Amino acid sequence: MSGPSLRRADSHSSIHEAALNEARDLTDLLAQLLGKNLHAEALKTALILLEHWETRTLAHAQAEEEGLYPELLAENENMKDKLTALARDHDLMRKLAQAVKKDLQQEKLDRQTVRQFYALICIDEIHNHEEESVLPHH
Protein backbone atom coordinates (compact mmCIF):
# COMPACT_ATOMS: atom_id res chain seq x y z
CA MET A 1 0.00 0.00 0.00
CA SER A 2 1.32 3.43 -0.90
CA GLY A 3 1.67 6.16 1.68
CA PRO A 4 -0.79 9.04 1.84
CA SER A 5 1.73 11.51 0.37
CA LEU A 6 1.78 9.52 -2.88
CA ARG A 7 -2.01 9.52 -3.20
CA ARG A 8 -2.57 13.24 -2.55
CA ALA A 9 -1.90 15.46 -5.55
CA ASP A 10 -0.62 18.42 -3.53
CA SER A 11 1.90 16.51 -1.43
CA HIS A 12 2.92 14.35 -4.39
CA SER A 13 3.56 17.52 -6.39
CA SER A 14 5.71 18.89 -3.57
CA ILE A 15 7.83 15.75 -3.58
CA HIS A 16 8.33 16.07 -7.34
CA GLU A 17 9.12 19.77 -7.25
CA ALA A 18 11.69 19.50 -4.45
CA ALA A 19 13.57 16.72 -6.20
CA LEU A 20 13.50 18.53 -9.54
CA ASN A 21 14.72 21.79 -8.06
CA GLU A 22 17.69 20.02 -6.48
CA ALA A 23 18.44 18.22 -9.75
CA ARG A 24 18.28 21.50 -11.71
CA ASP A 25 20.60 23.27 -9.28
CA LEU A 26 23.14 20.46 -9.28
CA THR A 27 23.02 20.11 -13.07
CA ASP A 28 23.55 23.85 -13.52
CA LEU A 29 26.51 23.67 -11.13
CA LEU A 30 27.92 20.72 -13.06
CA ALA A 31 27.67 22.64 -16.33
CA GLN A 32 29.43 25.63 -14.77
CA LEU A 33 32.26 23.49 -13.40
CA LEU A 34 32.79 21.80 -16.75
CA GLY A 35 32.73 25.19 -18.46
CA LYS A 36 35.56 26.30 -16.18
CA ASN A 37 37.49 23.06 -16.85
CA LEU A 38 37.32 22.07 -13.18
CA HIS A 39 37.15 18.37 -13.98
CA ALA A 40 37.77 16.96 -10.47
CA GLU A 41 35.09 19.14 -8.92
CA ALA A 42 32.75 18.44 -11.82
CA LEU A 43 33.21 14.69 -11.38
CA LYS A 44 32.40 14.93 -7.66
CA THR A 45 29.30 16.98 -8.47
CA ALA A 46 28.21 14.53 -11.17
CA LEU A 47 28.51 11.63 -8.74
CA ILE A 48 26.42 13.52 -6.17
CA LEU A 49 23.87 14.35 -8.87
CA LEU A 50 23.66 10.73 -9.99
CA GLU A 51 23.16 9.64 -6.38
CA HIS A 52 20.41 12.25 -6.10
CA TRP A 53 18.59 10.76 -9.12
CA GLU A 54 19.01 7.23 -7.79
CA THR A 55 17.98 7.88 -4.19
CA ARG A 56 15.30 10.51 -4.72
CA THR A 57 13.56 10.33 -8.07
CA LEU A 58 14.20 6.73 -9.06
CA ALA A 59 13.53 5.42 -5.55
CA HIS A 60 10.29 7.43 -5.61
CA ALA A 61 9.46 5.88 -8.99
CA GLN A 62 10.00 2.41 -7.58
CA ALA A 63 7.65 3.17 -4.69
CA GLU A 64 5.02 4.38 -7.16
CA GLU A 65 5.32 1.25 -9.28
CA GLU A 66 5.13 -1.07 -6.29
CA GLY A 67 2.36 0.68 -4.40
CA LEU A 68 0.57 3.58 -6.03
CA TYR A 69 0.18 2.32 -9.60
CA PRO A 70 -1.26 -1.10 -8.68
CA GLU A 71 -3.69 0.63 -6.30
CA LEU A 72 -4.81 3.08 -8.99
CA LEU A 73 -5.22 0.25 -11.48
CA ALA A 74 -7.28 -1.77 -8.99
CA GLU A 75 -9.58 1.25 -8.56
CA ASN A 76 -9.90 1.94 -12.29
CA GLU A 77 -8.82 -0.51 -15.00
CA ASN A 78 -9.20 2.25 -17.60
CA MET A 79 -5.99 3.77 -16.24
CA LYS A 80 -3.85 0.89 -17.50
CA ASP A 81 -2.52 2.70 -20.60
CA LYS A 82 -1.73 5.86 -18.66
CA LEU A 83 0.04 3.92 -15.88
CA THR A 84 1.98 1.89 -18.43
CA ALA A 85 3.16 5.12 -20.05
CA LEU A 86 4.17 6.53 -16.67
CA ALA A 87 6.13 3.37 -15.87
CA ARG A 88 7.84 3.69 -19.28
CA ASP A 89 8.96 7.19 -18.30
CA HIS A 90 10.56 5.66 -15.22
CA ASP A 91 12.31 3.10 -17.41
CA LEU A 92 13.70 5.84 -19.65
CA MET A 93 15.03 7.72 -16.63
CA ARG A 94 16.62 4.53 -15.27
CA LYS A 95 18.30 3.86 -18.62
CA LEU A 96 19.70 7.38 -18.81
CA ALA A 97 20.93 7.22 -15.22
CA GLN A 98 22.57 3.84 -15.92
CA ALA A 99 24.35 5.24 -18.98
CA VAL A 100 25.63 8.18 -16.95
CA LYS A 101 26.72 5.85 -14.16
CA LYS A 102 28.69 3.69 -16.58
CA ASP A 103 30.50 6.74 -17.95
CA LEU A 104 31.22 8.18 -14.52
CA GLN A 105 32.65 4.88 -13.31
CA GLN A 106 35.20 5.29 -16.10
CA GLU A 107 35.63 8.96 -15.15
CA LYS A 108 34.20 9.96 -18.53
CA LEU A 109 32.58 13.33 -18.03
CA ASP A 110 31.81 15.84 -20.77
CA ARG A 111 29.04 17.96 -22.26
CA GLN A 112 27.18 14.78 -23.25
CA THR A 113 26.91 13.90 -19.56
CA VAL A 114 25.39 17.28 -18.83
CA ARG A 115 22.93 16.82 -21.72
CA GLN A 116 21.92 13.46 -20.28
CA PHE A 117 21.25 15.03 -16.88
CA TYR A 118 19.17 17.77 -18.53
CA ALA A 119 17.31 15.06 -20.48
CA LEU A 120 16.48 13.40 -17.16
CA ILE A 121 15.04 16.69 -15.97
CA CYS A 122 12.95 17.11 -19.14
CA ILE A 123 11.55 13.59 -18.97
CA ASP A 124 10.79 13.99 -15.28
CA GLU A 125 9.02 17.33 -15.78
CA ILE A 126 6.73 15.88 -18.44
CA HIS A 127 6.21 12.71 -16.43
CA ASN A 128 5.33 14.61 -13.26
CA HIS A 129 2.76 16.74 -15.06
CA GLU A 130 1.12 13.65 -16.55
CA GLU A 131 1.20 11.74 -13.28
CA GLU A 132 -0.20 14.61 -11.23
CA SER A 133 -3.07 14.98 -13.70
CA VAL A 134 -4.15 11.45 -12.75
CA LEU A 135 -4.09 11.93 -8.98
CA PRO A 136 -6.88 14.46 -8.39
CA HIS A 137 -9.42 12.23 -10.12
CA HIS A 138 -9.78 9.72 -7.29
When pLDDT is cut at 50, 70 and 90, the band that residue 82 belongs to is very high
CB 117 within 8 A of CB 49: yes
The predicted model scores a pTM of: 0.89
Contact partners, residue 4, CB within 8 Å, separation at least 6: 11
User: Would you tell me the crossing angle of helices 80-105 and 39-52 to the nearest 10 degrees?
Assistant: 150
The larger pLDDT score, comparing residue 18 to residue 96, is at: 96
Residue 19 has pLDDT above 70, yes or no: yes
Q: Half-sphere exposure of 31 toward its Cβ, with a 13 Å CA cutoff?
A: 12
